Structure 1
């Protein structure tokens, strides 16, 4: 009887072992299928994975036919492998989904607002239906008209509307009580803050309405040289919202030669904005108010290039990325202090907060914004070098998970996967070079701000020409 019981126990263990091994097999097939469909890994790596997983399954399943306690070892081993496979399956599916969420952006958002004075009693738009509204007619006319129509629909009647020649005149009319509410694009708040002291503290947003506009995608082969526009913005709302661009870097990438050229263009560069300002000039940073595509068009016209992709990053994501990478090593041209941090000439190991302070400082340098642009390039170079190293494998999931709400790109998941696949296939280190456009400071009236004189930088034509030539050389190098 005892032998019969022991025999039944052994058969039970063997059956359990085979069952767990079959679960292991199903998870193996699932992981291989997900990795294959993601396009992240080269075929040679997937082939090695298939062989390894089949060998492990064969061992764990076959050992269940051995008439000894070794089958217990097989059960434990199969269970551990299954747990690892389940984790890998979840990790890969999550990474693919986040890349899908971050990539493939196809629209821009204009956040139109109605503002009143901070002590105004109206709690909502309906309470302001008898107010005198103001709107400016100089710029952004289409969005202003859409917003006027939306407000009238909400309040259920035609509004009392006053028109002003400039945004600043409209804002001053609100503050002086000549109108009760002002309508404009929230992206213009930065300009008003520069023009009117303490403007933000004197008003509050009563109502807002998002207007989405499609951005036409471009057909691009990521295996051929291409340009990416990296726009650094400072927004608290959705990353798709139009905003001034304080960081303007063009990344010229040649996948064949593994070479990258980072070109910084000062935010105050005094340029024409295609399709917006006509013959009048404006600051490059103001182009972002009209959409990331307008910033791209402006830089394309400046350098005579095509820009296929863009990536918009806010300051929160910079901190997240650097911390997730475990910090970065950044070269500084000077000793300086910023936002409570000290930086030495030479290599500095920086965390996220320190990297942000390093990137934003300009008042410590005689060349001001020019040196800030070089520092931003140094930070981006350090991020790229760290991201292309094996260190990225231990932190990639954390980075992807944390930056999904503060990074936006029109590069699709498939294109990102192909780039990662190419890098893993070759394993070759990239060469990163940098260039910075130069210019001469001045005070001029800008298209987006009316007659008010603002600090601008006239482009140095020789500098622009030389950079355009560098970009061409990187793209055409074989």
Structure 2
């Protein structure tokens, strides 16, 4: 047990049954100390930051996205050779979403100057396994990306879409019950998902990026394909029923998207799909920063244009700020993790869910909040996800 009060859970990290909230230190604008807010509430008030300790202002970075991380060094190079107007045009072409204005209640307080937390929301609107549910959009991919103040790493935590959590009530009365975490996106869009993730992790989200995984097909094709290490030979369950042979495979966009959609053939099911999505991100990043792309103006332009089309960011995202701040980031600097859990189980109503490991989650997210993820990873090397 740590002696640091910031790392202790409230009242010994006890948890309300089925609440889905990782225990930790919860703060409110009323100085509530270690008492968590009532279930069904979240931290949010127009996306504005509370005063920071010491009164220092946070550096204005803008946002880093899932595929924005892939493009950091590429865009930094574009800026470095003087093509500011081109880079500005890319930033202007980004689609925007009002992610924070509708948030209600108190939000987690920033603990450290200089770090950055980004919620990455991915969907797969054209996946054969993901029909719309009553017209409501659903998110297949939820990742919390932590950039430390040192800017030398990116810790990307995949949150299982079926993780059973307490979904707080938003400004429109949506939510207010325990459910799978991706239900918050279907019920209240990005704002309610932000509230839910902050409520669960006690980590303040600075920025949000939405990406449709089906849009990555064009990104991969613009790069001329990517190499993926297939962990076991499988036959796709989707037309045209491709066979993916174990080992390194060169894939075009359609093939790569087909592979990362597979889950039933793997013993760990949806966890395998999350692992393969992470693998695809790294493959895209490796190819995008290769000399062949960097020295070919046509390929470079096609890649950047497809990236811009594939994402939607919040209103203050600034592509140039991101590129300058993280210009040295490479795929080797991405550390992939999964939110601590106890595997699958059943909800009170009998549906299949992923059960939170509250103690381990509290420890990891507290380290994220204190910008000490390197320390946590060193202590838990088995948690780092690697290609099989």
The interval holding the TM-score normalised by the smaller chain is 0.5 to 0.7
1:432 aligns with 2:352: no
* Counterpart for residue 99 of structure 1: 91
RMSD: 3.7
* Counterpart for residue 71 of structure 1: none
* Counterpart for residue 13 of structure 1: none
Shift in Å, 1:43: 12
Q: 1:334 to 1:389 in 2, by over 3 A?
A: same
Shift in Å, 1:363: 0.4
Q: 1:407 to 1:364 in 2, by over 3 A?
A: same
Alignment of 1:28-67 (within 5 A): 45=80
Alignment of 1:158-307 (within 5 A): 224-235=114-125, 243-254=137-148, 256-275=150-169, 276-278=174-176, 280-289=177-186, 290-307=188-205
For residues 349 and 472 of structure 1, the distance between their equivalents in structure 2, rounded to whole angstroms, comes to 39
Q: 1:387 to 1:283 in 2, by over 3 A?
A: same
Shift in Å, 1:247: 0.9
- Give me the TM-score of the superposition, normalised by structure 1: 0.50
Shift in Å, 1:234: 3.2
Q: 1:417 to 1:215 in 2, by over 3 A?
A: farther
Q: 1:458 to 1:332 in 2, by over 3 A?
A: same
Please list every run of 5 or more consecutive structure 1 residues that lacks an aligned counterpart in the other structure.
Answer: 1-39, 50-87, 109-212, 446-450
Shift in Å, 1:260: 1.3
* Counterpart for residue 322 of structure 2: 419
Shift in Å, 1:271: 0.7
SS at match of 2:250: strand
Q: How many residues align?
A: 276
* Counterpart for residue 347 of structure 1: 248
Shift in Å, 1:423: 4.2
Please list every run of 5 or more consecutive structure 2 residues that lacks an aligned counterpart in the other structure.
Answer: 1-74, 127-134, 376-388
1:444 aligns with 2:347: yes
Which one has a larger percent helix, Structure 1 or Structure 2? 1
- Give me the TM-score of the superposition, normalised by structure 2: 0.60
Query: Which of these two proteins has the greater Rg computed from alpha carbons?
Result: 1
Shift in Å, 1:259: 0.7
SS at match of 1:245: coil
For residues 99 and 306 of structure 2, the distance between their equivalents in structure 1, rounded to whole angstroms, comes to 22
1:457 aligns with 2:347: no
Aligned counterpart for 1:397 among listed residues 295, 301, 316: 301
For residues 433 and 45 of structure 1, the distance between their equivalents in structure 2, rounded to whole angstroms, comes to 27
Which one has a larger percent strand, Structure 1 or Structure 2? 1
1:468 aligns with 2:365: yes
SS at match of 1:291: helix
* Counterpart for residue 200 of structure 1: none
For residues 341 and 319 of structure 1, the distance between their equivalents in structure 2, rounded to whole angstroms, comes to 16
